[in-house]
Amino acid sequence: MNKTVAINDGIIVSMNDKREVFKGSILIENNKIVQIERGPSRLKADEEIDAKGSIVTPGFICSHTHLYGILLRGAPLKLKPPSDFTQNLQRIWWPMDETMNSDDAYISALTASLELLRSGTTTFADTFSGPNAITGVLDKIEKGVLEAGIRGFISFEATQRRNEEEGYQGLKENERYIKKIKNEKMNGMVSIHASFTVHDDLLKAGKELSDKYSVPITIHTSEGKWDLYHNLERYGKRTFERLYDLRILGNKTLVAHAVQVNEDELNLIANTGTSVAHNALSNMLNAVGIAPVPEMLRLGINVSIGNDGYVFDTFENIRATYLIHKVNKLDPRVMNFQQVLEMSTINAAKSLGIQDKLGSIEEGKLADLVIIKPSVIPTPLNEGSAYGYLVNSVNGKDVNTVIVNGEILLKEGKFTKIDINEINEKAEKMVSNYWSRLMHSVEKIEILGL
């Protein structure tokens, strides 16, 4: 039986080719947008949502995250403060990775997916790292994501920082999952940690896997200076020169960060059609620098927004992206509302190869939609001010309704399919156990003097 949902009388931020913003109504049938009416209208449906005084957007897409990063929130780790990004990896992230088991992966996927959903993110691209939990772990992550109800591109982050074989085990887990996917909300991809933790053969094997199954391949690039220095010392090449020579770059390649890059590297990214996931808040947290996003956009590079497993609120990441480049360039004209909204919707969809299905509000596309009702409206909210409200004013708490694949998962700010109190109680018990194990791992790092 066909189920219909109508969203009536909202301010629709379409993100279509013309980037139109207009008052209108949207009709959903099953999992697709089947009709869009402009102007005052009321579409009839099995369920009708009054969106008057609200902004309707496509579901936001996070192009780079680590769902398990949510387990670090508030963690009482007693360690010597890292002085740079490499020490961050050595003292925090790598002990965290090695402590992870499949149950930790599951609860982090569930809670992080719910937090993404709560602020309007309906699709994400995740890379998981856990060298002691490789085979089968993506199934546990899938379970958590599907319980939340959103869409995910998930992958295991192949790395050879401990030994060469683990890198290939990571690729095998990606291939195993890609071959077994049955749910339409889930997608697989190939993930390589970073060029400074893998050899050329693994990079090439990852690209071959991406080509074989026509799925995205993602890799951390030039996040900190160590990545750049490693490639210069070992190969006599900058990071993107090495990746280009290995034929890793291309239109199915999504690189995260790209902070420590020069003009020649930007041209390599642009000329190969490679996409970039920009993670402004994470880059600030790790003090690695500011990616040259304005230059990327001028060169026609497809840039999207990720959160890198740090802050999951969509609007905080949008706002940080909008502001950081202004202060970096000492120019308030740098970046505009439309650019950062493109980066979190249609550009992110392009980076994952799903722009024909998601990223904009158009007839025939999948029904992933967000209704935002600002709690305070001190100025007129209309077609002309909607962009400004989205970038400068609202936050995740203003998200009223979230629809994924035609199903209402959040209504009037409340989850409709899950008991959040029950999940919070389960998460508290499981994460307390994880923290205990993690603190033991951190103590061992301190003993080694790292």
> 208 and 278: one domain?
yes
Predicted local distance difference test score (pLDDT) of residue 444: 56
Of 55-64, 360-369, 430-439, the one with minimum mean pLDDT is 430-439
Residue 308 domain flag: yes
Domain count, the chain: 2
Predicted local distance difference test score (pLDDT) of residue 79: 75
Predicted local distance difference test score (pLDDT) of residue 234: 96
Question: Taken in order 396, 399, 405, 407, is the CA torsion positive or negative?
Answer: positive
Task: Provide the token pair at 253.
Answer: 């390649």
> 202 and 303: one domain?
yes
Average pLDDT on 229-244 reads: 97
**Does pLDDT of 370 surpass 80?**
yes
> 393 and 378: one domain?
yes
* pLDDT tier at 289, thresholds 50, 70, 90: very high
**Does pLDDT of 40 surpass 90?**
no
Pair type for strands 151-158 and 186-188: parallel
> Do the Cβ atoms of 61 and 352 come closer than 8 Å?
yes
Cβ-proximal residues to 244 (8 Å cutoff; 6+ apart), any chain: 268, 272
Rounded to 10°, the helix 102-118/137-148 angle is 30
Share of the chain above pLDDT 90, in %: 89
> 219 and 310: one domain?
yes
> 27 and 72: one domain?
no
Average pLDDT on 182-200 reads: 96
How many CB atoms neighbour CB 448 within 10 A? Answer: 7
Closest CA to 190 of 173, 182, 20, 317: 173
Predicted local distance difference test score (pLDDT) of residue 1: 61
Predicted local distance difference test score (pLDDT) of residue 158: 98
> 135 and 171: one domain?
yes
**Does pLDDT of 443 surpass 50?**
yes
Average pLDDT on 149-159 reads: 98
> Do the Cβ atoms of 197 and 161 come closer than 8 Å?
yes
Predicted local distance difference test score (pLDDT) of residue 221: 98
Of 66-80, 104-118, 329-343, the one with minimum mean pLDDT is 66-80
* pLDDT tier at 76, thresholds 50, 70, 90: confident
Residue 219 domain flag: yes
Query: Average per-residue pLDDT in the chain?
Result: 95
Of 414, 430, 445, which residue is a domain's last?
Answer: 414
Closest CA to 118 of 378, 373, 350, 401: 401
Of 319, 351, 383, which residue is a domain's last?
Answer: 351
Q: For residue 97, how far is the Cα from the chain centroid?
A: 19
> 12 and 88: one domain?
no
Residue 444 domain flag: no
CATH of the domain at 244: 3.20.20.140
Residue 47 domain flag: yes
> 211 and 321: one domain?
yes
Predicted local distance difference test score (pLDDT) of residue 90: 86
Q: Which residue has the tokens 């339409």?
A: 184
> Do the Cβ atoms of 320 and 344 come closer than 8 Å?
no
Residue 66 domain flag: yes
> 327 and 389: one domain?
no
Predicted local distance difference test score (pLDDT) of residue 82: 84
Closest CA to 29 of 50, 44, 12, 9: 44
Predicted local distance difference test score (pLDDT) of residue 309: 96
> 306 and 382: one domain?
no
Task: Provide the token pair at 449.
Answer: 């003097």
> Do the Cβ atoms of 34 and 363 come closer than 8 Å?
yes
**Does pLDDT of 310 surpass 50?**
yes
Of 351, 371, 392, which residue is a domain's last?
Answer: 351
CATH of the domain at 43: 2.30.40.10
Pair type for strands 253-257 and 186-188: unpaired
* pLDDT tier at 448, thresholds 50, 70, 90: very low
Residue 358 domain flag: no
**Does pLDDT of 342 surpass 60?**
yes
Residue 419 domain flag: no
Task: Provide the token pair at 377.
Answer: 């409206």
Of 13-27, 85-99, 239-253, the one with minimum mean pLDDT is 85-99
Task: Provide the token pair at 331.
Answer: 């120019």
**Full domain range(s) for residue 387:** 4-58+363-414
> 381 and 281: one domain?
no
**Does pLDDT of 29 surpass 90?**
yes
Per-residue model confidence as pLDDT tens digits over 201-210 = 999 999 999 9
Average pLDDT on 96-108 reads: 94
Task: Provide the token pair at 366.
Answer: 């999948």
* pLDDT tier at 168, thresholds 50, 70, 90: very high
Predicted local distance difference test score (pLDDT) of residue 130: 94
Select the more confidently predicted residue: 429 or 76: 429
Question: Taken in order 219, 127, 68, 168, is the CA torsion positive or negative?
Answer: negative
Residue 41 domain flag: yes
CA–CA separation, 428 vs 445, rounded Å? 25
> 218 and 265: one domain?
yes
